[in-house]
Structure 1
Amino acid sequence: MNALKNKRILIIGFVWPEPKSSAAGSRMMQLIAFFKENGGKIMFASTASESEFSEELYEVDRKQITLNCTSFDEFVSELQPDLVLFDRFMTEEQFGWRVAEHCPNALRMLDSEDLHCLREARRLTVLKNKPFNLNNDLAKREIASIYRCDVTLMVSEFEIELLQSHFKVPSFIMFYLPIWMGNETLNLPSFEERSDFMFIGNFLHAPNHDAVVYLKEKIWPLLFTKFPEAKMHIYGAYPTQKIKSLHEPKLNFYVHGRVDSSFEVISKARVLLAPIRFGAGIKGKLLEAMQFGTTSVTSEIGAEAMNGNFLWNGFITDSPEDFAEKAIELYQDKIIWVKAQQNGFEIIKNGFSKDLFKDSFKEFLTDKFKNLEKYRNKNFTGLLLIHHFLQSTKYMAKWIEEKNKA
C-alpha cells in the first residue's frame, strides 16, 4: 500500500531550498523527491524571498505566504492538505496552530534538520565559556514543537537517544531519517590524481564559520610549519568579510567562495579538514567526502552519529596539534589513505544508503495516517501543548495583524 499516493502535501519552508548552498537544501530536495516518487501532490510555501540560488521546483506548486495574516488561513483551508511538513521548528511555531485549527485531520510532520537547542548549548560553551546547559530557552520552544507534531524526522540517532533520555520524548513521535546518498557508481580520481586540503560549507551556518576561523588561526600554522608544501582551499556559499579576510596566499590558504558543484572540488582534494567545535545533526560535507572518495580529519562533534560501529574515513581528534599531525599523515601515506577511503564507502553503504530507509519510511507513514487519532491520544502532552499554544498564539497573531493594519 502506498500511503502517499494522491495525498496533498504542504511543505512550509524556512527558506526556499538551495541544495548547492547547504546540506539543509539537499535534505529538503530529497524529501520533495521522495514525496513525488510516491505519488504525492506537493505545494511548497515560504515567507522567505527566493534568491538566484533557489532550486527550480519542478512539478511542485509554489506559494508565497505571509506571517501573522489570515490569508494563510484562507489558503490552507482551501488546500486542505493531508500532510503538512514544517521545515524546522520555527515554522511550526509560526504556522502550526493555524494548521491545527483549519486542517485538524492533517498529519503534522516536523523536519528538525538538527537539534537546535543542542547546537546552541554547545555554541555558548565554546564561544562564551558558559556551562553546558541543554535546558535552555531554545529547548523549551523546540521540544514543545516536537511534542505538538505527530512525527519529527531526526537525522541523528544520538539526538533521538538524547531526546528520549533527557526530555522524555516518546519514541513513537520520532523517526530516524538521515540525509541519504545515492548508489550510483562514480568515476573517482586516484590518490595520485588528487592534491591539497579543503573545506566546504555554508557560512551562514555558525559552526562552519567558526570551524574555518579556528582552522586558520589554530591548526593551519601548525600544519603549514611542518608541511610547507600544503595548500588549503576554502569553499562555500555566503562567505562573510571575516571569512574572506582569511585568504592568505603566502601561507597557501585560499578562500574561493561558492561553487556550482561540490563533487568537482571535493573529489579533486585528497583530504577534507573539518575542525567543527560545536553543532548538531550530521554533517553533509563529511557524507559527501565519503561518497566522493575523499578522506577527512574532523572533531568528535563533527563525526557524531555518523560512523556507528565502522572506522572513520580518516581521523577524529579535538587537539589542534594532533589534528595537524593526522592531517599530514593521512595526506602523505597512501596505504593509510586508501584504507580510510574504503572506510568511508562502508559507512555510506551501511548507514546512509537510500535503500535502507525508503521502505520503512513509507510503512511508518502508512501506519501514522491509518492510526493518527490513536497516536495523538497517546501523546497527551502534545494535545495539551497544542490547546494552550493555539489559544495564546492565536490571539497574539491577531493582535499583531490588527497592529499592522494601523
Structure 2
Amino acid sequence: MTDATQLIAEMGARARIAARVLAAMPAAAKADALRRAADALRDAEPTILAANADDMAAADTLSPAMRDRLRLDSGRVQAMADGVAAIAALDDPVGQVIDTRTRPNGLALSRVRVPIGVIGIIYESRPNVTADAGALCAMAGNAAILRGGSEAARSNRAIHAALSAGLSAGGMPADAVQLVPTTDRAAVGAMLAGEGILDMVVPRGGKGLVARVQAEARVPVLAHLDGNNHVYVDAAAAPDMALRIVLDAKLRRTGICGAAETLLIDRAYPDPAPILRALIEAGCELRGDASAQALVPGIAAATAADWDTEYLESILAVRFVDGPDAALDHIARHGSHHTDAIVTEDGATAEAFLRAADSAIVLWNASTQFADGGEFGLGAEIGIATGRLHARGPVALEGLTTYKWVGRGSGQIRG
C-alpha cells in the first residue's frame, strides 16, 4: 500500500463516519452550520487573499484564463461566502418524497431522496470550488474529500480552514469536508481507485483532468466536460438584442465554462457586420469562414480545429449557416453538450431549436453566461454535468442525492 493509498483510505474511513452523521442531521441544523461557515469565510478574507496572492505570484506560467480562475479579490471572496449562505437558504432535498404508490395488496411504496454518501471532488485552479463543493455536499448530507490543484494549494488551505471551522461550530463533524493535504498526483490516482471509499467522483478542470478521471476511475463519475458553446443568430433576431447577447456571451468573462466559443449567423440575417465589428473593437480576435472574412476585413481564416476549440480567452470562431437546421447540425458535430443559445424573434423557430439541441442547457434570447447554478436559483454549483445520466446541467443539492424505495406494509407476504 502506497502512502497516497493509505492517506485516501484513512480520509475515506473518517468521511464515512461523518456521512452517517450528516445524513441524519435536520435541515435547520445543516443550514445553521452553513451560515456559520459563510461568516467564517467573510472573517477570514484577509488570510484568504494573502494566501491567494502567494498562489498568483507563483502562477506566472499559467494561461490568462487559468490565472483569472485562480485570482481572488474581495468581491470574489464575499461572493463565495454569499454562495455558501445561499445554499443554507435552499430547501433540503434529503427526505423529500419523489412519488408514492399503493399496490393492490395494500403495500405502500415511496421513493425518497437520500444522500449519495462520500463524494470526491478533483479540481484545478478555481479555489472557490473548495467552498462551493464543500457546502453543497454537506447540505445534501454527504461527506466530501476535496483535492485541489497545486497552483491553488495555499488558497484552498485557507478557504478550507475557514469553512471547516464554521461547519464545526455549527455542529457538523470535523471530517464532513476534508481537503487532501498533499499535491502529489498519486493522491488523485488513489481517489480514482477508491472503490468502496468514495461513492462518486466529480472532476472540475480541463480536458486532460476529465479524460484521466474517466479513464482511470473505478467509482461513478459525474463528468463536467469542456464548454464549447454556441450562439446562433437567426434570420429573425432583433439586431440590438443579438449584439448585446453575443458580446456578453463571449466577453463578460472569457475564462468560464459558460463563455461562447463559436458564433453561428444565419446567412439571411440582414446586417451581421455590426456584431463582428463590435467584437473586434472590444478586443476579440475573430476566426471565421470565407463569408465572415469577406464581410469584415482583418478576420483570420478559421481552421477545422477552431470549430472544436474551447478558447477560454478573447477568441471567437464565426461561421455563416443556412438556417437553424444547419446551425443545429454544426452544434451536433462540434459542440460539447454544455450550453447553446438561439437569438430570434420567431417563437416557432426558437421552440424547435430548444427541442432539438442536445445540450445540458439551451437558451432562447439569453447569454450563455447564465450557465451557472447561482443564476438558476440553485445556489453554488458543483459543476455543469454534460452527460445524460443521474444529473445534467448545473449540479447543486438535488444532483448530490440519490433515492431509495421505502415500503410500508401490514403483514403482506408473497406466498
Please indicate, yes or no, whether the TM-score normalized by the shorter chain is above 0.5.
Answer: no
Larger Rg: 2
Whose relative contact order is higher, 1 or 2, with alpha carbons under 8 Å and at least 6 apart?
2
Q: Which has the higher strand share?
A: 2
TM-score by length of 2: 0.31
Higher helix share: 1
TM-score, with normalisation over the residues of structure 1? 0.31
